[in-house]
Structure 1
């Protein structure tokens, strides 16, 4: 199968705020845009911010709804964290190491965009844990 690109549509209430957060801060490339939506190349995936008139409210927790990226290179994860710190971005959840010394060991931190969408950024120590390790039942912090 040829490469498949993931598409995610999220609610936003400002094209400009979305461009600052996703492009200027996180480094996404801006694609097409109009007064209703903006498309980002979000690390090789299509992220579309759609303007909504609905009242956007902060979630009570990171579960169940959040999205994110899994970096396959630890230095890329570190670079994005450094970029967030450089821009004085308030982290929704500070970096931590989950499941230390286990097959599913990974580094993670969470961001919240200006529209209350929560984003998780991860790096797994063992690539095979991303989709494998079916015998391990631990997922997340719940």
Structure 2
């Protein structure tokens, strides 16, 4: 649990909610994330699929702020920041962090907010 606290609270700046010997509840940028202790870690996966979760920021400034914090805290970047799908409705900035338990976390900012849940006529989802 100490590693989880170091990464999520000290590294990312999440707030601690309730905790027990085997679990932590975190305020993950306004969303509840619960971490659970497990004695056996899953092996790291190759690539971002299928196992990752993410957070969408509604302002570029907020996305840049968490990017700067992750860099200044020396967090483990699984994929550095990049601009995906430039010029398309789905254009977005993204980066991935890997926590100490091999969970991949994506941080996104969409240039066009309507692309977050819209654009259903577009077939492309992800890189596969």
Same fold per TM (> 0.5)? yes
Q: Distance in 1 between matches of 2:93 and 2:99?
A: 20
Aligned length: 128
Per-residue CA distance 1:49-82 (angstroms, 9 max, x = gap): 1011223321122101100100011100000000
* Equivalent of 2:110 in 124, 131, 137: 124
Is 1:139 the counterpart of 2:119? The answer is no
Is 1:56 the counterpart of 2:42? The answer is yes
Is 1:38 the counterpart of 2:24? The answer is yes
Q: Distance in 2 between matches of 1:90 and 1:50?
A: 20
Runs of 4+ in 1 over 2 A off after TM superposition: none
5+ residue gaps, structure 2: none
Q: Distance in 1 between matches of 2:126 and 2:61?
A: 22
RMSD between superposed Cα atoms in Å: 0.9
- Mapped contact 2:52–2:103 kept (Cα < 8 A): yes
Q: Distance in 1 between matches of 2:26 and 2:65?
A: 19
Is 1:72 the counterpart of 2:48? The answer is no
Q: TM-score, normalised by structure 2?
A: 0.96
